[in-house]
Amino acid sequence: MSSVADRLWETIEPYVAAEGVELDDLEVLNGGQLVRVTIDAEGTTTTEHPAAELGVDVIAELSRGIGRLLDAADPIQGSYTLEVSSPGLERKLRRPRHYEKSLGKAIKLKTFGEIEGSKTHSGTLVAADDESFVVDVEGSNRTITYGDVSSARTVFVWEKSGQEAKQA
């Protein structure tokens, strides 16, 4: 993270934690003109958590609070746009914590170089630690370090019955 992103993280994280949600990701894009904040319910492995339902009203309230914090702290010179959202159905995987929270789910990723003959990998995320993760690709486990990943995301899978959807 850049020093601006570090300062933003240090400013925003305690506020959202006090509100019962997790600062999932933070990006400073377009030379600081766009601040993208992704929030998630803490411990998203269960929907029993009261903040697990990050609806539009909750996100809007958090966005206003984060906006006031940033106005007071003034960590970015000039004007910028603040975007606050939840990870969505297909979450980007950018940090080891994202992988840990997505264990057992279907993922798709691209690597900078070939691993086992391919730069694209789709399968089930079966393990993750601070340095690498393991994807089961058609019955074969591939261990991939985070530094080898150019992009990764979870994949939303519709149930065959067409009645329900789930994140694999």
User: The CATH number of the domain where 42 resides is what?
Assistant: 3.30.300.20
pLDDT digits (tens, 9 = 90+) for 7-16: 999 999 999 9
pLDDT score of 75: 82
Residues 81 and 145 in one domain: no
Q: Are residues 64 and 37 in the same domain?
A: yes
Q: Does 10 share its domain with 70?
A: yes
Report the range of poorest mean pLDDT among 46-60, 77-91, 107-121, 143-157.
46-60
- Does residue 40 have a pLDDT over 50? yes
User: Do 102 and 80 reside in the same domain of the chain?
Assistant: no
Q: What share of the chain is helix, strand, coil (3-state, %, to 5)?
A: 25, 40, 30
Distance between CA 71 and CA 76 in Å, rounded? 9
The reported pLDDT for the residue numbered 164 is 54
How many domains does the chain contain in total? Answer: 2
- Which range marks the domain in which residue 74 is found? 3-85
Average pLDDT of every residue of the chain: 87
- pLDDT at residue 46, rounded to an integer: 36
3-class SS of residue 68: helix
